[in-house]
Amino acid sequence: MSDDVSHETMLQGADDDVRQGDVDATGPGVGAPVAERDVSHETSAADDSVVVDELDGSSILAEVLGDALPQLTVFHDKLMREGEPRGLIGPRDVPIVWERHILNSAAIVPFVAQATRGERFKTVADVGSGGGFPGLVAAACLPDHRFTLIEPMERRVEWLNECVREMGLDNVTVVRARSEEVIARIRKREGLYPFAVVTCRAVAPMTKLSGWTLPLLKSHGRLVALKGRSAQAEIDKAAKEISKRGGVRPRVVEAEVGPGLEPTHVVLVDKR
């Protein structure tokens, strides 16, 4: 498969890869007071709860998200109301939900569309969907693709199903399972088949991620994984594991998030 997405450029840099999606409800910072917040002029509990996203009203949203913007606005507003209390995003993420979670997730859309070009069945598995990143965002942007969101935690599965209903997505199925369980069902032909594309966002290092994702792919399918700047180092370390799982041509590309916004990094791996 050729990679002709116009803004792809090979990267060599590396630094720490931080999970950009879900935050465990018991993790550091969740529910803790925000010391730097100045509440001296706040006069009511209602005022204290008002947080505005930095990109609200920006033309960037329509430019990047297009026809998916109404559905993703529903998702965004639900995240703003419920994301932090339910342990899906951290408190510092609330003013930057559009950029850090929704636009960042949408960066994979051109790569998914490229990988399924000419395919009769445009099937996508999103591994470790958590709060819906990138699976729900990509599903809204690609209504002609069929998405299966794989998530083992019950509370997150409940969240995902709520979002699917409220966003009106008819191209999404949520499966409560670990990736290994779905792989076993595919091998046993228990109602699931290999996917054209597998997506994920900072779920685990590539040494582990290879075994959780590549076996889900059909021959000539593609892994599209959002990663941090340490992605190239992860690929180098996981080279043997990637090959063992049938992966070829692992590479890191830079992906645009939006005009004037910091780009993100995507790992692409093809399946033999």
- List Cα–Cα distances, 225 to 22, 50, 187, in angstroms: 15, 34, 23
Q: Is 105 annotated as a binding residue?
A: no
pLDDT at 17 over 90: no
Q: What is the pLDDT of residues 153-183, one digit of tens each?
A: 999 999 999 999 999 999 999 999 999 999 9
Assign 61 a pLDDT band (cuts: 50, 70, 90). Answer: very high
Instruction: Determine whether the annotation assigns residue 133 to a binding site.
Output: yes
- State yes or no: 57 annotated in a binding site: no
Query: 206-228: per-residue pLDDT in tens?
Result: 999 999 999 999 999 999 999 99
Q: Is 211 annotated as ligand-binding?
A: no
The mean pLDDT of the chain is 87
Is residue 129 marked as binding?
Answer: no
